[in-house]
Structure 1
């Protein structure tokens, strides 16, 4: 059987077309993701503008539509179940440290996981912090945020050491032996001097899809330019 042998110009054209359409597809996918992200941001803006919800709202609503709602609830922290979420490059001051994550009882047998703020590694021990061990009733304020998927290259949680690298509510519920609300409360008021309060801004939501789309489309145009520039050279070799 004779093998089909393509001329250099035909091979060059086929390869160029494949690369071109791959780059166009990647750019179009980023445009789709851009539209999706803009819709998400708009939904977050809408929820942030709504009235603050309280204890009763959390008791009777355990739904995703409450994500990014402002919350003001009363209850007690379960300090004996405190966990440490490794901050990594999310550290607000560039120093190594953790986000303190503690369950909060807002009703009888009703618990929500609260990200209370950032603390430097040297202040991780609870007993050296000003207000940590006081098991008192208090009012906390914050924003409900959903748990996210585990990022790539992030290690598994070491719950037996109370160390987290990402938040998986079901895993944490199983470890602590309590049922947690299906969102996390990002607290932005704190009674502890050592804790740096959380801040939430829409500017922190990454939306690089337009830049990615421009990159892919630019590369597609570059391939097209190179194709027309060099195709005559390949024709001369045929």
Structure 2
């Protein structure tokens, strides 16, 4: 290898190392952001529930990840289920039921339920105080089928589609109901805040590649020094 080729090789590798170090640093910054984000969600969930009334009901859509208590009655004749859910090795579904409130129709994820639990569900329609966490429609996850309105097959929460299917003008957010220990099913509090946080692994990968390339470049330099 002549001196010009060696210089070009070294310059190329130095640029590659700088890029790898930049990617590793960026992943560490993402790690800090993700940790703060998860901490904020956990803090909001742990805060006391806000009791919804006429004064604060208009701000409900700003209470994402906050627990609220709202009064209403369930419309069990319009219940639907989300397919393919697992809880403690049990296979079942998530039960979604509209709640008629003074502020509109609010979709409620009542929690995990098995087929047997669904058959024995207590469909009480009296006015209740419901506590849960505010959330919004989710994007369709990868590898999850599209919702099929014609067959009443649901795989993720899309409030607009569910409202069209039920012929209800649903509020643009929904409630994830807190667990009611008095009933075996549904099992509430399905908050699902298990947010992937693999940025430290990604950072380690980029930094390791940068280190390996640095060592290899040093050996090449020593050989032709």
Q: Which category describes the TM-score, using the shorter chain as reference length?
A: 0.7 to 0.9
1:184, CA displacement in angstroms?
2.6
1:118, CA displacement in angstroms?
0.9
Match of 1:197 in 2: 188
Contact 1:72 1:139 in 2 (8 A): yes
Q: CA 1:63–1:223 in structure 2 vs 1: closer, same or farther (change >3 Å)?
A: same
Q: CA RMSD in A?
A: 3.0
**Structure 2 regions of 5+ residues with no counterpart?**
none
Aligned partners of 1:187, 1:68: CA distance in 2, in Å? Answer: 12
Q: Give 3-state SS (helix, strand or coil) of 1:135's partner.
A: coil
Q: Give 3-state SS (helix, strand or coil) of 1:99's partner.
A: strand
The farther-off stretch of 166-175 and 51-60 is: 51-60
Match of 1:224 in 2: 214
Q: CA 1:82–1:16 in structure 2 vs 1: closer, same or farther (change >3 Å)?
A: farther
Match of 1:114 in 2: 108
Q: Please, which of 65, 80, 83 is the counterpart of residue 83 of structure 1?
A: 80
**Structure 1 regions of 5+ residues with no counterpart?**
1-5
Q: CA 1:32–1:81 in structure 2 vs 1: closer, same or farther (change >3 Å)?
A: farther
In the alignment, does 2:134 pair up with 1:139? no
Q: CA 1:10–1:36 in structure 2 vs 1: closer, same or farther (change >3 Å)?
A: same
Aligned partners of 1:135, 1:17: CA distance in 2, in Å? Answer: 69
Q: CA 1:150–1:25 in structure 2 vs 1: closer, same or farther (change >3 Å)?
A: farther
Q: CA 1:28–1:87 in structure 2 vs 1: closer, same or farther (change >3 Å)?
A: farther
Q: Give 3-state SS (helix, strand or coil) of 2:121's partner.
A: coil
1:46, CA displacement in angstroms?
4.4
Contact 1:86 1:165 in 2 (8 A): yes
State the Cα deviation string for residues 31-77 of structure 1 (Å, max 9, x = none).
2322322332343244335442223266321433x112111222111
Give the TM-score normalised by the residue count of structure 2: 0.79
Contact 2:111 2:187 in 1 (8 A): yes
Count of matched residue pairs: 221
1:99, CA displacement in angstroms?
1.1
Match of 1:60 in 2: 58
Q: CA 1:7–1:162 in structure 2 vs 1: closer, same or farther (change >3 Å)?
A: farther
